[in-house]
Amino acid sequence: MKIRVAEYMTRNVYSLKPDDTVKDAIELIHSTGHDSFPVVDDENRVIGYVSAIDLLERGPETKIREIMSRKLYVAREFMDLRDAARVMFRTGHSKLPVVDDRNRLVGIISNADVIRSQIERADPSKVEKLKNTIEKVHNVRANVRRGVVEISKLVPTQSKVYADELRGRIHEIKRGLAEPIVVIGKGGRFFLVDGHHRVVAAKRLGIKELEAYIIEVPPETELGMEKLARKKGLNSLDDIEIIEDVPHPLVEITFRNMK
């Protein structure tokens, strides 16, 4: 199944105008932590690109239009993410502006987004496998739909999340990434299957709703994860413990104190 650029691109994009200066660009680097930016005109059309390297040995009042690159590589929302990755790899670019049919900036895709698409993805095939498993185990018919769920109505099935992973999820959400969670809907209740860190991150940011794959099962179905949640006393997101002093099990700590 193809993964589209639109599914992983960042929609909240920092950009520069051609009449901005090198000083403006440096201030944007300091405030955002990014090292390169698309340049847009008054109609938000991409007309150039500038990186930290372009700023070297330039006077602070130098206009961006004088130093920006006009040879642009761009992506489209409907592109296969693998094709965008090939362009980045073959041209040596770490980011591509994403534009619409009028060349207006709608997002940006980075090599980090490509990596993320391969290691953490709640795609339709994964959801379909879960649906088939539920049908086989419980001998019921289930339906899958995309929708929005209120996070206050979610019943967690995982008792803890890790603070380091949580910080990463908060960063992703702030960047405008919209990875759907996976829930099982049963009689008006929604059991969270995949996306605990993202949901807790959203709650911390004051977000009320999230996009989700919703697997709907008959209300009389006794789910194994429902029994487990009940056994662990998990009724709402407030029951999830945040582990502050232990890293996520998949993270190896490589830093060691040097004497």
Q: Where are the domains of the chain?
A: 5-117, 120-243
Phi, psi of 111 (to 5 degrees): -65, -30
pLDDT value, residue 12? 87
CA–CA separation, 85 and 115 (whole Å): 10
| Residue 255 pLDDT | 43
Round to whole Å and give the CA distance between 171 and 253. 20
139: alpha, beta or left, given left = phi > 0 and alpha = psi -120 to 50?
left
Domains 5-117 and 120-243 share a fold: no
Three-state DSSP at 58 gives: coil
CATH 3.10.580.10 fits 5-117, yes or no: yes
Strand ranges in the chain using DSSP code E only, listed in sequence order: 36-40, 46-51, 95-99, 105-110, 143-150, 154-155, 160-162, 181-186, 189-194, 209-216, 241-243
Residue 90 CA to residue 107 CA, distance in Å, equals 21
Contacts of 150 (CB under 8 A, 6+ apart): 208, 209
Beta strand pairing status for 154-155 and 189-194? parallel
CB atoms within 10 A of CB 24: 16
Spell out the long-range contacts of 201-207 with Cβ–Cβ below 8 A and sequence spacing 24 or more.
Answer: 201/166, 201/169, 201/170, 201/172, 201/173, 202/151, 202/173, 203/151, 203/237, 204/166, 204/170, 205/170, 205/173, 205/174, 207/151, 207/173
165 vs 127: CA distance, rounded Å:
23
Q: What is the pLDDT of residues 19-68, one digit of tens each?
A: 999 999 999 999 988 899 999 999 999 999 999 999 999 999 999 999 99
231 C-beta neighbours (distance < 10 Å), count: 8
Q: What is the pTM of this model?
A: 0.57
CB 155 within 8 A of CB 192: yes
- Point out the residues of the chain with pLDDT beneath 70: 1, 118-123, 176-178, 245-259
Which pLDDT score is estimated for 250? Answer: 46
Architecture of domain 120-243: Alpha-Beta Complex (3.90)
